[in-house]
Copies of this chain bind each other. A is one copy, B any other.
């Protein structure tokens, strides 16, 4: 016997065993078209007796639907992704879709390479995380009307793709107001994300707006690129301390940067928040376990994943979908100087 034969039941085997045509088997499998209750039973029996599993490839080829959602990410490094994946996976499974995950490397996918990686023929639609795909490819998806939803990224000009974003600016603004009015900080530093990261840009605008609204000058030397990375951010803050830069507080563009800032201060023997206060953005799981616990802005990451997937599925099924802007919420813990 061939080594694999045991597992190779096909729809024909089922049909033969149930003494019906393959069309009928297909009907009971997909619940499409009428089948007598008696026949249905025979087919079901045959299926389970043979351990029959429909081959996804054959089905996809014949029906032109893959029932698969693609998820494109730059990397799977940060703490940010578990909730995001959970949201996406949950929504996908709920709607009967599989989830195909690809990482593209930090620089995103170069145009052209994308095709082979996860071309538009191999999933029913794509969930694209910030920075994974260049504008040229986004443009193309838009033109050929391939279902796509952008995660934490707005579409480039003229490309009207649906997207899911956080209310970054208002969240950042609110947090800054807190630092300025409640705690009286004036020399507040900002740790940027990677170049081109839209979340970071909006958060920075909230940062600048708040300063200006209170007549505080925006000082370029207080703004640096932490890349949303623990280590990069630690190094920057360490350098600041080394230089003796005067700072009341650090607004880290995301919680990973905040962790880096924590590290730097701890290693330098500085107290948080007495010497320098730190606040972040995102509210990842770890935030509440730092000490002092991190004051930050809660971003509904799992919701973003879930809603992104839902929008994509609706786009696949109905042909169109809107965008969503998800509210953020300031979470006061101890690292800003508040007693909690």
Are A76's CB and B89's CB within 8 A?
A: yes
| B262 and A119 contact, CB distance less than 8 A | no
A53's nearest neighbour on chain B, judged by CB, is B119
User: A143 near B6 (CB under 8 angstroms)?
Assistant: yes
Closest to A65 in B: B57
Contacts of A57 in B (CB 8 A): 56-58, 60-61, 66, 121-122
What's the Cα separation between A101 and B305 when bound, in Å? 15
Check A205 for interface membership: any CB of B closer than 8 A: no
Within 8 A of B (CB), among A49-85: 51, 53-58, 60-61, 66, 68, 75-79, 81-82, 85
- Chain B residues with CB under 8 Å of A262's CB are 289
Q: How many of chain A's residues have a CB under 8 angstroms from any CB in B?
A: 55
Q: Within the complex, which residue of B4, B66, B290 is in contact with A144, where a contact is CB–CB below 8 Å? A: B4
Which B residue sits closest to A48, measured CB to CB? B112
Question: Interface of A with B (CB < 8 Å)?
Answer: 3-4, 6-7, 48, 51, 53-58, 60-61, 66, 68, 75-79, 81-82, 85-86, 89-90, 93, 98-103, 112, 115-116, 118-122, 140, 143-146, 259, 262-263, 285-286, 289-291
Extra A-B contacts (19), CB below 8 Å, given A54-B121, A76-B89: A3-B145, A4-B144, A6-B144, A7-B121, A7-B144, A53-B115, A53-B122, A55-B122, A56-B122, A75-B86, A82-B82, A85-B101, A89-B103, A93-B102, A98-B118, A99-B102, A100-B100, A285-B286, A290-B290
